[in-house]
Each structure stands twice: as C-alpha cells, then as structure tokens.
C-alpha cells in the first residue's frame, strides 16, 4: 500500500480548471487500479491539492437550485460563476480567503470506509482549529465543521463534499479563513436554512490570519490521522 501523498498548491485557480485537473488525476488512479488487476505490483498514487478559487458557487448532485438566491445577471454583477458538479452535498461558495483542500486518494492505500474518511476530514479541521483555541465540532446529520452546535449561535466554518468511485476520492473541504462572508448571503449554505457561517479571522477578531500557517497545520494533522507521508509541496501554476 502506497501511503505517500503528493502535495500540490495551485495557489489561485479558476474552479473549472481545477475541477478538470482533479478529474485527470482521479482518472489516472482509477485506470491504474484496473491495470492492477493483471499486475498486482502496480502502486496507485495519492494527491492532495490546495487551491483558492475566484468567487464561485457550486451545487452538488443532490442539491436544489432554489438554494442559489441570485439570477445569472446578479452573478455577473458580483463577479461570480456557478457550476453544477458531481460531488455530494448541496450548494456552497468558494472564494478568496478560503483554503480549499482536495484529497485525491486511493482509499485502498488507507482504509475502505467512506464514513470514516469524512469523519477524518472533519477531525483534521477540528484539530487545526484547536491550535487557535477554537472548539470545532460536528453537527449530527450535517457534514462539515461547526461552532456552538446546539445553541442559537451555531455557525459553520468548514464545508465538505466528496465524490468517491472504486475507492478513489475527489473534491473535499473548504475552510473559511479570511473569507468575505457576505457572499454566503446569496445562497442557503448547504441547503440548511437559519444557520450562519463564520471564518477563522472573524472568530479570532483579527483582520487577517496567516493562511500558509493554517495549511501547514492542516497537513500535519492530515498526515498523522491518515498515517501517511505527505511529500514536499509542489507549486503548480
């Protein structure tokens, strides 16, 4: 089992370009798995992508279009794009100041349990937030990481949505670090009414949090939880 993970940082990249890149890596792993049936010595690779997207709204395959509260004209006015995509979950927003992580893993190199995989992704973020003295928790029946669950002040700080086929994953998580939360007013986030969103800088009451520092913490916890070796970061422009 190959537990090495190549780490790519795409810096700022268009959502569709990144989606296409994910699909390319995803297909590469799936194709190798098919070859592996005849050649058991073949090792499948694993990838982890960091990226920041320009303003974009994405709707998962089980999502409801009515959760987007903007017309096509209003999207243009806000400088945002919109895509229906092939991950689970409903609608979410990506934009500047948000750390997006896309692990593209062959789970047969780690464990074959999608529920466990999602809980591990949540735990990575929970442990990262704990380093800033912020208590992140799960909300029953709602994927992602939340603060003050069970109170009138419940708010989401990290959204998640994944796709998996033949135990290969894609898509992932979006952690609000220095995000402009006003863009969330244009959707019903994840299709959940009456729940607020927040960001790390908002919770810490600072103007800006060092995003590279947050990425380093995410990678540390990801590596430990998945018992993986994350290789030196490669910048891909």
Q: Which of 59, 100, 104, 190 is catalytic?
A: 190
- Give strand pairing partners of 104: 47
> Is 136 known as a binding-site position?
no
> Is 91 known as a binding-site position?
yes
Task: Report the 10 Å Cβ neighbour count for 142.
Answer: 17
> Is 179 known as a binding-site position?
no
Its sign, for the CA torsion 228, 1, 47, 190, is negative
> Is 80 known as a binding-site position?
no
> Is 97 known as a binding-site position?
no
Active site residue 190: yes
| Dist. CA 219–CA 166, nearest whole Å | 25
> Is 182 known as a binding-site position?
no
155-174 burial by CB neighbour count: b if 16+ within 10 A, else e?
bbbbbbbbbbeebbbbbbbb
> Is 174 known as a binding-site position?
yes
Its sign, for the CA torsion 60, 64, 65, 70, is negative
Identify which of 79, 83, 95, 122 has the alpha carbon closest to the alpha carbon of residue 184: 95
> Is 87 known as a binding-site position?
yes
> Is 37 known as a binding-site position?
no
Annotated binding site for substrate: 87-94, 159-161, 172-174
Query: What residues are annotated to the active site?
Result: 190
Annotated binding site: 87-94, 159-161, 172-174
């Amino acid at each position: 089992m190959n537990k090495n993970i190549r780490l790519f940082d795409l810096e700022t990249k268009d959502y569709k370009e990144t989606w296409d890149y994910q699909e390319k890596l995803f297909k590469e792993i799936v194709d190798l798995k098919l070859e592996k049936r005849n050649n058991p010595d073949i090792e499948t690779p694993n990838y982890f992508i960091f990226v920041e997207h320009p303003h974009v709204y994405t709707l998962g395959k089980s999502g409801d279009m009515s959760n987007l509260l903007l017309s096509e004209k209003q999207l243009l006015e806000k400088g945002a794009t919109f895509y229906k995509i092939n991950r689970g979950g409903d609608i979410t927003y990506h934009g500047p100041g948000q750390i997006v992580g896309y692990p593209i893993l062959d789970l047969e190199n780690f464990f074959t349990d999608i529920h466990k995989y999602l809980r591990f992704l949540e735990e990575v973020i929970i442990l990262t937030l704990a380093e800033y003295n912020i208590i992140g928790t799960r909300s029953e029946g709602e994927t992602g990481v939340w603060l003050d669950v069970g109170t009138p002040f419940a708010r989401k700080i990290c959204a998640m949505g994944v796709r998996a086929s033949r135990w290969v994953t894609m898509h992932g998580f979006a952690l609000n670090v220095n995000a402009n939360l006003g863009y969330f007013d244009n959707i019903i986030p994840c299709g959940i009414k009456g729940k607020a969103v927040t960001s790390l800088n908002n919770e810490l009451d600072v103007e800006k949090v060092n995003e590279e520092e947050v990425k380093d913490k995410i990678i540390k916890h990801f590596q430990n939880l998945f018992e993986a070796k994350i290789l030196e970061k490669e910048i891909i422009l």
